[in-house]
Chain A
Amino acid sequence: MSTKICVVGGGSGGTIVANRLAEKLRPELESGKAEVTVLNETSHQLYKPATLYMAFGKSEISEVKRPVRDLLDPRVDFRQEKAVRLDPDSKELQLKSGETCSYDYLVLTTGSKLDMAEIPGLKEAGHHFYGPEGSEELREELAKFNSGHLVVSVIGVPHMCPVAPLEFSFLADDWFRRRGIREDVEITYTYPINSVFGFDTIANWAEARMRERDINIETLFNVEEIDPDGKVIKTVEGSEMDFDLLVAIPPHKGDELINSADLGDGEWVETDKNTLEATRAEDVYAIGDAADVPTSKAGSVAHYESSVVADRIASLARGRTPSAIYEGKTICFIDGVDGNKATFLQFKYGEEPEVPQESKLLHWAKHSYNEAYWLTAKGLL
């Protein structure tokens, strides 16, 4: 009997875990003793970090997406289907097309979605860079913006790529300087806690650079609603802030599939932080944004988690005891300081990252990786 491994989601985590499984279980796949299927609603994978640069006209959508099928090992089956319901007891997925898909092992890599409706007025008045449509619209707004108050407001936490709002603020500062209009643009960055970031080391580094560049900082700032006509942000704390252009980091939510199977209290899968197994279901794993593990919702997390999950499932499929564990390894760049400098972070669970001096070399390392990313998606890098 064939071991059925199903991966829901064709983003970074989905293609990497499927390709690693194809590599580890090559004899089983070729002899029909195992099968790996990837389900994804859309035909293409988007390299999400690039949408930050799209807002400044530095990248095009056509350059940052690839067909999922082309990223997968030929031995992996790809179905462009949306899974709408999960029954962990019968180990079965209900698909939007009406078909069902049974599994022995399930990997959920369903990512994050924006929830603009959670904050009244946000959809009408706010812009964002967390997707190609949002970035295209924001590019037009930024191109027309010659003076006034730009507010970069982190509303939803957790959110994808935690350092992206810092990067956007630095890039915007540089971009207005290059256009010769920085003195006509006031920039304010807001964050929900009493700091500009969750880690003290990063917060201290970023705050010093914001102050040097005349970027205003407002902390303990939790947006409750937005008045689109008056262009006013109203907070839970009772304060108000006027804006001319609002770039928001919207609230995020997980896939409905997670709620349908009661896999977590909120929108994320309750997940063992080391084995990456869903704690409320047998033989279900969660990777990337979908998992509630205590680290960033970042692509590198999905990358490293994928190797662990592939190793564990391959062991189980061969009747062995799995031993690979995820220790929270996370890496990321913070790009955009002065437009052409970046720093690089790496840390594990419980560690506070050190922040090296930003440099042009690290900026070009980041941009080189942006080009090389597709090798990661294929499981090669």
Chain B
Amino acid sequence: MAEKNYEPDLVVDSRDSTCPGPLMDLIGKVKGAESGKVLELKTTDKGSKDDVPDWLDKAGHELLEVVDRGDYWSLYVRKS
């Protein structure tokens, strides 16, 4: 699938942070963001790559795309 070029309104850089840090960083920023805003979470933690979609599903936010950047992942999220 071709990668889309999402322009994030907010970047959450959690690289080198271990589980559960990246998800907790994202939750903190999502809480403060306006509805419809796009957030990019950067993480090097494989567990968080799986946890974040689970949380988004439960909390009702949208996972737009996961991009493998080689040494980290970018998860693009839209707040509902």
- Taking each of A195, A198, A237, which has the highest tally of chain B beta carbons within 10 Å of its own beta carbon? A198
B69 contact set on A, CB distance < 8 A: none
Q: When the two chains form their complex, are residues B20 and A192 in contact, meaning their CB atoms are under 8 A apart?
A: yes
Residues in B with CB closer than 8 Å to A237 are 55, 58-60
User: Looking at the complex, which one of A192, A198, A222 makes contact with B18 (CB distance below 8 Å)?
Assistant: A198
Does chain A have a CB within 8 A of B47? Answer: yes
Q: Is A236 an interface residue when CB atoms closer than 8 A count as contact?
A: yes
> Are A192 and B17 closer than 8 Å at their CB atoms?
no
Binding site for B on A (CB under 8 A): 157-158, 192-195, 198-200, 220, 222, 224, 236-238, 273, 294-295
User: Which among A158, A194, A238, A273 has the highest number of chain B CB atoms within 10 Å?
Assistant: A194
Query: How many whole Å from B74's CB to the nearest CB in chain A?
Result: 19
Q: How far is the CB of A292 from chain B (nearest CB, A)?
A: 9
Assuming the contacts A157-B24, A192-B20, A193-B20, asked whether A200 and B59 have C-beta atoms less than 8 A apart, the reply is: no
Given A236-B59, A294-B16, A294-B18, the answer on whether A194 and B54 have CB atoms closer than 8 Å is yes
- Closest residue on chain B to residue A156 by CB atoms: B24
A295 to B20 Cα, complex, angstroms: 11
Query: Are A220's CB and B58's CB within 8 A?
Result: yes
Kindly count the residue-residue contacts between A and B in the assembled complex, taking CB atoms under 8 Å apart: 47
- Min CB distance B20 to A, Å, is 4
Residue of A nearest to B19 (CB): A198
Residues in B with CB closer than 8 Å to A198 are 18-20, 47
Q: Which residue from B16, B17, B23, B60 sits with its C-beta under 8 Å from A193?
A: B23
Min Cβ gap B18→A in Å is 5
Write the chain B residue with the least CB distance to A295.
B18
Q: Does B7 contact A (CB under 8 A)?
A: no
The CA-CA distance from A243 to B55 in the complex, in Å, is: 23
* Chain B interfacial residues counted at CB < 8 A: 18
Instruction: Flag if B47 contacts A222 (CB, 8 Å).
Output: no
Which residues of chain B come closer than 8 Å to A222, judged between CB atoms?
27
CB < 8 Å: which of B17, B47, B60 contacts A200? B47
Q: Once the chains bind, are B58 and A193 in contact (CB under 8 Å)? A: no
- Measured between beta carbons, the chain B residues less than 8 angstroms from A158 are 21, 24
Nearest chain B CB to A96's CB is how many angstroms away?
A: 31
Contact of A199 (CB < 8 Å), options: B17, B19, B54, B58: B19
Cβ contacts under 8 Å, A295 to chain B: 18
Residues of A within 8 A of B21 (CB): 157-158, 294
Nearest-Cβ distance from residue A367 to partner chain B, whole angstroms: 29
User: Quick one: CB contact mask for B13-54 with A, threshold 8 Å, 1 for yes?
Assistant: 000111111011001000100000000000000010011001
On whether the beta carbons of B19 and A236 are closer than 8 Å, the reply is: no
Q: Is the CB of B59 within 8 A of A238?
A: yes
Q: Is the CB of B16 within 8 A of A157?
A: no
Complex: how many Å from CA A192 to CA B50? 14
> Chain A contacts of B55 at CB under 8 A?
193-194, 220, 237
Across the two chains, which residue of chain A brings its CB closest to B20?
A193
Q: Name the distance in Å between A41's Cβ and chain B's nearest Cβ.
A: 28
Q: How far is the CB of A282 from chain B (nearest CB, A)?
A: 22
In the complex, chain A residues whose CB is within 8 Å of the CB of B24? 157-158, 192-193
Complex contacts, A236 vs chain B, CB 8 Å: 27, 31, 59
Q: How far is the CA of A199 from the CA of B51 in the complex (A)?
A: 12
Give which listed residue, A193, A273, A294, contacts B51 with CB less than 8 A: A193
Task: Give every chain A residue within 8 A of B59 (Cβ-Cβ).
Answer: 220, 236-238
